């Protein structure tokens, strides 16, 4: 059984958006959740193990345990004003969940990693 979960229209609630270079405006990927971490910026940082390693940078390989990073933005209070009066409704998956997500596929110029940021839709398989 597949549970389809959509959040609000893809939010623009991203702090320091200039650090992200858009590689594809919309990308869909599937994989298994390896870790879930709450960040000070109000986002949830997820490491997703994927089969297609061409989507990863060297830094994804070494700093993110060979995973693609997913960012579900504004899931809680933030130290930044970008989440003021907005709370994302996409639920947070658990470690071990098989999921399918979509959103902008970006390169984080500061960390040298590729991400789906922000996650716009999520399917738990």
Nearest one of 23, 105, 112, 118 to 73, comparing CA atoms: 118
Q: Which residues form the domain of 93?
A: 3-124
Regarding beta strands 20-38 and 3-6, do their DSSP bridges make them parallel or antiparallel, or are they unpaired? unpaired
Model confidence band, residue 42 (pLDDT cutoffs 50, 70, 90): confident
What is each CA distance from 81 to 15, 29, 37, 76, 121, in whole angstroms? 8, 29, 20, 12, 23
Residue written as token pair 């990863």: 56
Residue 46 has pLDDT above 80, yes or no: yes
Task: Give the CATH number for residue 51.
Answer: 2.40.50.140
Spell out where the chain has E strands. Answer: 3-6, 20-38, 44-49, 68-72, 98-108, 113-116, 121-124
pLDDT digits (tens, 9 = 90+) for 62-110: 999 999 999 998 777 656 556 666 667 788 999 999 999 999 999 999 9
Total tally of structural domains belonging to the chain: 1
Distance CA 77, CA 59 (A): 28
């Amino acid at each position: 059984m597949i549970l389809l979960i959509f959040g609000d229209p893809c939010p623009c609630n991203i702090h320091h958006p200039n650090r992200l270079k858009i590689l594809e405006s919309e990308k869909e990927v599937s994989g298994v959740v390896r870790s879930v971490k709450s960040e000070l910026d109000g986002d949830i940082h997820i490491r997703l193990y994927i089969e297609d390693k061409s989507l990863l940078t060297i830094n994804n390989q070494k700093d993110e345990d060979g995973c693609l990073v997913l960012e579900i933005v504004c899931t809680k209070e933030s130290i930044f004003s970008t989440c003021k009066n907005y709370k994302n409704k996409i639920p947070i998956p658990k470690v071990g969940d098989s999921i399918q997500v979509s959103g902008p596929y970006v390169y984080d110029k500061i960390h040298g990693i590729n991400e789906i940021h922000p996650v716009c839709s999520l399917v738990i398989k």
